[in-house]
Amino acid sequence: MSKRGPWRGGAALAQQPRAEDSGRPRLTTSAMIASLAAEGQRTSPAPFGRALVEAAKSRPEIVGMTADLSKYTDLHVFAKEYPERFYQMGMAEQLLMLAAAGLAHEGFVPFVTTYAVFASRRTYDFISQGIAEEGLNVKVCCALPGLTTGYGPSHQATEDIAIFRAMPDLTVVDPCDALDIEQATHAIAAHDGPVYMRLLRGNVPLVLDEYDYRFELGQAKLIRDGADVLVVSSGFMTMRALETAKLLAADRVDVAVLHVPTIKPLDEGAILREAGRGGRLVIVAENHSVIGGLGEAVAGTLLRAGVAPRRFGQVALPDAFLDAGALPTLHDRYGISAKAMAETIKRQL
């Protein structure tokens, strides 16, 4: 028998809805790449592709490369604008990373795209030994980070941050929204060295323009302050944290949000400064497994510095191969929707 236990699909499941899903309509599995935008939410199209086109205008050494996923990573926007600077490498991710290393050897700045699962699980050695060990200027930009597809574990990169955090000399970036992705693209283009960046593509939510925010590589930013809870978050979980803060405000719970879009190198100073302001519950929220991501990075930072918050908790994906299904269902089920996150925080207060 598989470790998942007996087969649990079909009629049996239909008759026994999961307790945590009670009252929720049964949704259709999300498209391979579904927009995370809620209905009516403001979005911006293809922020990575458009920013890369912009960055490439003054940087002729920038080239784009993909392993048969340009349309699914917004690199097609670059390919259309600069067909002579675009390399379709075929569905060969190992080669993709090595060829990027070769082009970087010759002074070019390759932006390579694929899905996060393939970059992290399939090509780790090629990024490590082909690119990072030599400090080559390659930017690995990957769609479908964490739980952003309903297609199941083959496409859900729930451990990519854990994998890439362990790679020496690699900068790891997890931007939040369209504005963050656009600014981060320019920032990593200007940075000399290998980078792994998580991408959202298509119609990407636009949130951070409402705040006094600007992406700076290596810097955490306090998006909003609050007296009761400090949420330290990366990626789209910062958007969820801001929604959660609004939900909890109705309960008179005051939530601060520290956005940490650069996972490595970690802005330990900002984290220690905010977590050190005593009396607050510290929650680290990430679109990633509880193992090896921002949560454990922050925990280690606090422990090493002797900073003990009132309580520490994680909002993160379980250490498990996750289900297939619709993203709203799955985000609720695994506790990374705003509603689920608000409940988690209230339980710990």
Partner 1 sequence: MQGLTKTLANAPSLDDRAWRIRRNALRMGEVQGQGYIAQALGVADVLAVSYFHALNYRPEEPYWEDRDRFLLSIGHYAIALYAALIEAGIVPEAELETYGTDDSRLPMSGMASYTPGMEISGGSLGIGLGIAVGIGLGLKRKSSRSFVYNLMSDGELNEGPTWEAAMSAGHWGLDNLICLVDVNRMQADGPSTSVLNFEPLPAKWEAFGWHAQRVDGNDIATLVRAFDAARQLAEPKPRVVICDTKMAKGVPFLETRDKSHFLRVEQHEWALAIDALDAGRMS
Handedness of CA 333, 338, 343, 345 (dihedral sign): positive
Q: By CB under 8 A, name the one of 48, 78, 86, 108 that touches partner 1.
A: 108
d(CA 106, CA 102): 7
Work out whether 104 is an interface residue with partner 1 (CB under 8 A).
Answer: yes
Binding mask 242-281 for partner 1 (x = CB under 8 A): ----------------------------------------
Transcribe 202-254 into DSSP letters: SEEE--GGGSS----TT--EEEE--SSEEEEE-THHHHHHHHHHHHHHTTT--
Q: Which stretch binds partner 1 (CB under 8 A): 84-92, 150-158, 276-284, 295-303?
A: 84-92
Output the smallest distance, CB 97 to partner 1, in A: 8
The SS3 of residue 82 is coil
Work out whether 106 is an interface residue with partner 1 (CB under 8 A).
Answer: yes
Torsion angles phi and psi, residue 278, rounded to 5: -60, 165
- Can you list the alpha helix ranges (DSSP code H) found in the chain? 10-15, 47-57, 75-81, 93-105, 116-117, 124-125, 160-165, 178-190, 236-249, 268-275, 294-305, 327-333, 338-348
Binding mask 133-172 for partner 1 (x = CB under 8 A): xx--------------------------------------
- Which of residues 169 and 332 has its CB atom nearest to partner 1 in the complex? 169
Q: Which stretch binds partner 1 (CB under 8 A): 29-37, 93-101, 190-198, 229-237?
A: 93-101
Largest CA distance in the chain: 61
Total number of residues that touch partner 1 (CB under 8 A)? 27
Q: Which stretch binds partner 1 (CB under 8 A): 74-82, 86-94, 154-162, 266-274?
A: 86-94
State the residues that interact with partner 1 by CB under 8 A: 63, 87, 89-90, 92, 94-95, 97-108, 110, 125-126, 128-130, 133-134
